[in-house]
Amino acid sequence: MGKSTSSLVSVYSRLIIRGSLPFHAFTYSTNSISSRRENAKIPNQNRNQLLNSVRDHCKSRTFKNLDHALGLFDKMLHMHPLPSIVDFTQLLGAIARMKHYSVVITLIRDMGSFGITPDVYILNVLINCYCHLNRVDFGFSVLATILKLGYQPNHIILNTLLKGLCHQGNVSGTVRLVEEMENKGYQPDVITVGTIVNGLCKIGETSAAIRLLRTVEKGNFEPDVVLYSTIIDSLCKDKLVTEALNLLSEMMSKGIQPDVVTYSCLIQGLCNFGRWREAATLLNEMMQREIMPDVWTFNILVDTLCKEGMLTEAKEVFTKMVQRGIEPDSVTYNSLIDSYCLQNKMDDAIKAFNMMVERGCSPNVFSYNILINGYCKSKKIDEAMRLFHEMSNKGMIPDVVTYNTLIGGYCRVERPQAALELFHNMQAFGQRPNSQTYAILLDGLVKNKQIAEAMALFQEMEEKRLKHHNTLIYYNILIDGFCNVRKLTTARELFYSLPTKGLQPDVPTYNIMIKGLCQEGLIDEACELLEKMDGNGCSPNDRTYNRIIQGLLQHNKTSKATKYLQIMVDKGFSADATTASIVFDMLSSNQVDKNIQEYFHVSLPPNR
């Protein structure tokens, strides 16, 4: 392009500090290729046939697998003379499209040992791979090499780097690079602007994306439907659906016609806010414009209707979808199955599951997890386990969600030993428990009064030094368990030991202890703990006040109960059903002052 690159180099050097190709960072074993090289000589007469085959596979993307592509690459390396650099570029690009980025990096490194010097196109493939591996810094190192070789970076290279910076959320680096591109005469094209807009929207900077749109509109650049759709989608995700609809009107007034993506984003946004009529209007408008909804559009409608409990309407959309010749996918069926399970219609859920199989749509792990969860919530653990074994028989590997659901299911039907056995089996099969696994099992053991097993599990966690983002939840479960089995001394010791472990009690922790103290008749200590909460930065909530009021009333401390009732009401909280029941029982037997009745009505929910 004949442009000066000194300023560009300056920008790049501020973003990276490298000058050679950073192959050391990503390695992929090519021993299997190397071992074949001695016998990989290709007769000249087969040369054209092989190269034509490579070109066809690259164009049609019909490689059987990675080994197939690597075998062809190896044969190309042993041709005499070597194929053109264009053929190598095509094959490397094809492997990159298969998402084997580390492999491509290794292959480009290996090409050097055969005396093949990468050109600017291969180096662009290399930059693309580094960006996909979230190492944009290495991508800029390759760019430095391009400049040293005397090549000029083109729009493809610069747009690839911009995309990498955007994916990292490096907006300032993106802006600097674009400004320098413009200073050196590289006018942003539709891909440049689209990349930046997409990046801004992904990190929640929708307003900045709109400002960029307004800037490019003032110049000679004409935004396209993709650009508008990206911003419309981001506005919908930001819950600014009205603004998104206004942008739709604006783009149409400029002669830019929306496509299926534009409409689908808006329908999703409207459905999220329960604006069904507008969503239906938009769907009809879409079809009148002969823009046919695709499976994604219908899935939005089916899934949202199912989540709102509008199963009849969801089935109608499903039927319409099939009538229009659009084949439902696993997402569609999973939405229906989940809705049936939520309504405890397990027979209908199984029918939808069987229909899915009959229509040639293979259930995935998520499909099985939905059904297993439905059966566990219905306390039909044997049916859930039947599905679990069916998964294994079909070669599916249950994930941590599957195991967590079943462990919780066993605990729900008071089979804690079976839950423990499954916990050990999941590890034997190579599935690592996560924080939720431990919380579910610990809670299940405690609720089934298996305190010794719960403590053993807790000690195992401490011995393994398992650090989870919310360690306090495990202590809350144990403290609650000890309170429930009337081992208040142990619960109290655990509660007061939290600061020594670097943890501070939260509102649920205080509520558990206050409940335990009230159960043991230690009302004064419970009141003292309530007073300490505010001082420790924990504001009591409605549960805190209801529990303390219940304890005070049950121990005939009505004046103090009235005091906390006043505080609770002043803070905007209401009495729960238990508190209401205690008060009315005491009123009927004249155990409390009738003045509390008038005062109590204020704190009751309106429908009481």
Which CATH number is 269's domain given?
A: 1.25.40.10
The reply to whether 199 falls in a domain is yes
Q: Which tokens is 5 given?
A: 């690159």
Mean pLDDT of 320-337: 93
Please give the residue range of the domain that contains residue 549: 541-608
Number of residues that make up the chain: 608
The reply to whether 481 falls in a domain is no
- What pLDDT score was predicted for residue 39? 41
The reply to whether 555 falls in a domain is yes
Q: Among 276, 292, 308, where does a domain finish? A: 292
- What pLDDT score was predicted for residue 572? 85
Whole-angstrom Cα distance, residue 548 to residue 554?
10
pLDDT tens for 87-144 read 999 999 999 999 999 999 999 988 888 888 888 889 989 998 998 898 988 988 888 8
Whole-angstrom Cα distance, residue 488 to residue 486?
6
Q: CB atoms < 10 A from the CB of 15, how many?
A: 17
Q: Residue 508, SS3?
A: helix
pTM: 0.70
Burial label for 343, CB within 10 Å (0-12, 13-18, 19+), is middle
- For residues 535 and 504, the answer to whether their CB atoms sit within 8 Å is no
Mean pLDDT of 427-441: 92
The reply to whether 276 falls in a domain is yes
- What pLDDT score was predicted for residue 525? 93
445 membership: H or E segment, kind and range? helix 435-447
What DSSP assignment string belongs to 296-355?
HHHHHHHHHHHHTT-HHHHHHHHHHHHHTT----HHHHHHHHHHHHHTT-HHHHHHHHHH
Q: Residue 177, SS3?
A: helix
- What pLDDT score was predicted for residue 561? 85
User: Positive or negative, the Cα torsion across 287, 291, 292, 295?
Assistant: negative
CA angle 292, 293, 296 (to 5 degrees): 150
Residues 6+ apart with CB under 8 A from 356: 328, 330, 333, 337, 363, 367
pLDDT tens for 134-187 read 898 898 888 888 888 887 777 788 888 888 887 777 777 777 777 777 777 777
First to last CA, the chain: 78
For 378, list phi and psi in degrees, rounded to 5.
-85, 5
CA angle 253, 284, 265 (to 5 degrees): 65
Q: Among 292, 321, 341, where does a domain finish? A: 292
The reply to whether 224 falls in a domain is yes
The reply to whether 169 falls in a domain is no
- 3-state DSSP helix/strand/coil % of the chain, to nearest 5: 70, 0, 30
Of 83, 24, 94, nearest to 58 by C-alpha is: 94
pLDDT tens for 377-422 read 999 999 999 999 999 899 899 999 999 999 999 999 999 999 999 9
Q: How many domains does the chain have?
A: 2
The reply to whether 53 falls in a domain is no
- For residues 213 and 203, the answer to whether their CB atoms sit within 8 Å is no
- What pLDDT score was predicted for residue 538? 87
Whole-angstrom Cα distance, residue 414 to residue 233?
47
Q: What percentage of residues in the chain have a pLDDT greater than 90?
A: 46
Q: Which tokens is 406 given?
A: 């079943």
What is the Cα Rg of the chain in Å?
Answer: 32
Q: Helices 435-447 and 400-412 meet at what angle, rounded to 10?
A: 10
Mean pLDDT of 39-66: 79
- What pLDDT score was predicted for residue 607? 42
What letter would DSSP give residue 497? H
The reply to whether 46 falls in a domain is no
What DSSP assignment string belongs to 513-567?
HHHHHHHTT-HHHHHHHHHHHHHTT----HHHHHHHHHHHHHTT-HHHHHHHHHH
Q: Which tokens is 331 given?
A: 């997402």
Of the segments 458-467, 539-548, 567-576, which one has the largest average pLDDT value? 539-548
Helix residue ranges, H only, 36-170: 47-60, 66-77, 85-97, 101-113, 120-132, 136-148, 155-167
Q: Among 231, 264, 292, where does a domain finish? A: 292
User: What mean pLDDT is reported for the chain?
Assistant: 85
- What pLDDT score was predicted for residue 367? 96
Is it the case that residue 45 has pLDDT exceeding 60? no
Q: Scanning the structure block, which residue is given the tokens 């044969």? A: 75
